Structure 1
Amino acid sequence: MENLSIIVSFELTLDPFSISSGTKYPIFFFGILIYVFGTFCNLTLLLLVILRQSLHKPVYFILLNLPLNDLLGITFMLPKALYDIVTETNYTYYPLCVLQGFLLHMYGNAVLFILSAMAFDRYIAICMPLRYNALMTPRVVMMILALVWGVDFLLIFTLFSLQGMHSRCRSHIVSIFCDNLSLVKLACGNTSVNTFFGFFVIAVMQIISISIQVFSYVKILITCLVTSKSDTKSKAINTCVAQLVIFFTFEVVGTFYVLSHRFADVNANLQKIMGILIFLVPPVLNPIVYGMNSHELRKHFLKILHRKISV
């Protein structure tokens, strides 16, 4: 009877942080500051690319997807987590949990796919500069972006369709937010197909992303070694540093979080913190790193800032 009531119930409980009541408000206000800062930085980058005609280039059209995706990730995770911390409610409803998990997984895959598209664009720009405009036409850029989001959607939709086929025997989410791993743990019966396809999605995502980026950066490195042009080397270094910092940060945090679900002895609070960092670090770090390493973005931002101060 208990299992039956759980199966028909839409309400789920989330696993809260083990924190004292005296620290919940400082954590809440610190989280709000991070959210506001991350949202402001990404909206600034987004509007800068949209509004400045001189930035309407293939590289920035691809870059445009990064702040869009970062806003998706930070918005669908942090406000709900902060609300649960300050109100000590820690519950959600199954449809909302599935929606949150779906969008957060879309965000995670898209980070790597967008970085791969940007790496490929920089490979063309640095290694084949004379053919860049002929190769990276608006149609090609749209095809690349359609492929990025299309493959992302197909993989995550299939992943969540599989877990939705199981009946639920439990109602406790072993995390402070919803994801596929936590939702699968609610299921009755054998979930080996879900586990296998989850690993398949991770493998496809990693193979595609790492292959494209390794190929692009190796080609860029070779071009740097054989060229005597200092501007080409400077452009290549800025490109590699910006994207590799973001890529490795996301990989380290994401890998730890995924693996932590496979080991029972991982500290619960540490697991939750690493899970949150997946959705906090890139949205805060990405616009800063790209703003500092892109001369054009920095120039246009300072021009607008100077104009506002002068007025």
Structure 2
Amino acid sequence: MDTFSSNSSSVLRLQSFDLSPQVTYVAFVFAMLSYLSILFCNLVLLITITMNKSLHQPMYLLLFNLPINDLIGSSALLSQLIKEILLDSRYIEVSNCIAQAFFIHIYAVGSLFILTFMSYDRYIAICNPLRYNTIMTNSLVVRMIVIGWLLDFFLIGALFALVLRWPRCRSLITQPYCDNPSLVNLVCADTTINNIYGLLLTASLQGLSVGMVLYTYLQILVACFKSKRSDTKSKALQTCATHLTVFLILEGLAFLTIISYRIKEISPHIRRLVGVSIMIFPPFLNPIIYGLKTKEIRQKIMLLFCQKVVKS
């Protein structure tokens, strides 16, 4: 029986990676360097978009939300993970566990919303270029962003409201971090409604997001092949390739995470590593991909650093 097994307990126990002292040091350095790299890359992207009025356009206003969302997800995971490794502690306060799980799910849903909005923006820009400025106004983009974040918080809030209403009879989190399935496993009541809502939420969001991206990119490919201007076609495909790469990385890691939980023969250590990878690699790679592949952002970042060097 768990040491902390009552609902009144304010402490939960996490399933750690069970690392040796030598490997623990390496894991700490990796986690710290990953977090610092994620902070640096995403803050550079945020500062670049903020400081350059030429980037205050619909595409970049949508992109601005991606590093914010990535910082939410990576901070929710890595801040607790670094603390766990540093203090060699497997325990977490219930309130901290709920907060971590909440923001991890906010990150997951937010990623789908933002990338879906960005695919729609690219669809209008390439398939209806003459009407782009009329359709994708800054006011429309701001409304899309606000509605997306409000819907994100509402859907995840409802998810957690369902699980937090039940008493707990267990205290062991079977992951090195907290998420909704782990919290549901602590409940000693019938969680059928929670499971149905979680499955419907996941299926509907994935279906809508993947469906929208597939539809928009099929239309974009058709428009590119019909275009007689090779320079326009090349620029359109390059812009879309950047967004599609980011989307495929997220979906690929999400797919591997789901598969790892379904295949019982997979090592628990590999399952945990796959689980944390979706909150490390996309937040690290996204700003690098956009910084390197988007000409306007690449130029502004180089200009920003050149100015800093000259001033110093």
TM-score scaled to structure 1, two decimals? 0.95
Residue of structure 2 in register with 1:99 after alignment:
99
User: Match of 2:85, as an amino acid?
Assistant: I
Change (3 A) 1:171 1:5: closer
Write the mapping of 1:146-165 to structure 2, written as runs, cut at 5 A. Answer: 146-165=146-165
Residue of structure 2 in register with 1:287 after alignment:
287
Q: Structure 1 stretches of 5 or more lacking a match?
A: none
Write the mapping of 1:1-311 to structure 2, written as runs, cut at 5 A. Answer: 6-311=6-311
Displacement of 1:146 after TM fit?
2.0
Instruction: Report the 3-state secondary structure (helix = DSSP H, G, I; strand = E; otherwise coil) of the residue aligned with 1:187.
Output: coil
Tell me, yes or no, if the aligned pair for 2:2 and 2:171 is still in contact at 8 Å: no
Percent identity between the two aligned chains: 38
Instruction: Report the 3-state secondary structure (helix = DSSP H, G, I; strand = E; otherwise coil) of the residue aligned with 2:36.
Output: helix
More deviation, 247-256/154-163: 247-256
The CA distance in 2 between the partners of 1:43 and 1:57, in whole Å, is 19
User: Match of 1:176, as an amino acid?
Assistant: P
Instruction: Report the 3-state secondary structure (helix = DSSP H, G, I; strand = E; otherwise coil) of the residue aligned with 1:70.
Output: helix
The CA distance in 2 between the partners of 1:140 and 1:297, in whole Å, is 22
Tell me, yes or no, if the aligned pair for 1:126 and 1:232 is still in contact at 8 Å: no
The CA distance in 2 between the partners of 1:204 and 1:280, in whole Å, is 25
The CA distance in 2 between the partners of 1:3 and 1:196, in whole Å, is 31
Per-residue CA distance 1:213-253 (angstroms, 9 max, x = gap): 11111111011100012232122222222122221221122
Instruction: Report the 3-state secondary structure (helix = DSSP H, G, I; strand = E; otherwise coil) of the residue aligned with 1:117.
Output: helix
Instruction: Report the 3-state secondary structure (helix = DSSP H, G, I; strand = E; otherwise coil) of the residue aligned with 1:23.
Output: helix
Displacement of 1:117 after TM fit?
0.5
Tell me, yes or no, if the aligned pair for 2:7 and 2:169 is still in contact at 8 Å: yes
The CA distance in 1 between the partners of 2:37 and 2:231, in whole Å, is 33
Per-residue CA distance 1:172-200 (angstroms, 9 max, x = gap): 00101110010000000221211111111
Displacement of 1:263 after TM fit?
4.6
Displacement of 1:76 after TM fit?
1.1
TM-score scaled to structure 2, two decimals? 0.95
RMSD of the TM alignment (CA)? 1.7
Q: Structure 2 stretches of 5 or more lacking a match?
A: none
The CA distance in 1 between the partners of 2:8 and 2:246, in whole Å, is 42
Displacement of 1:25 after TM fit?
1.2
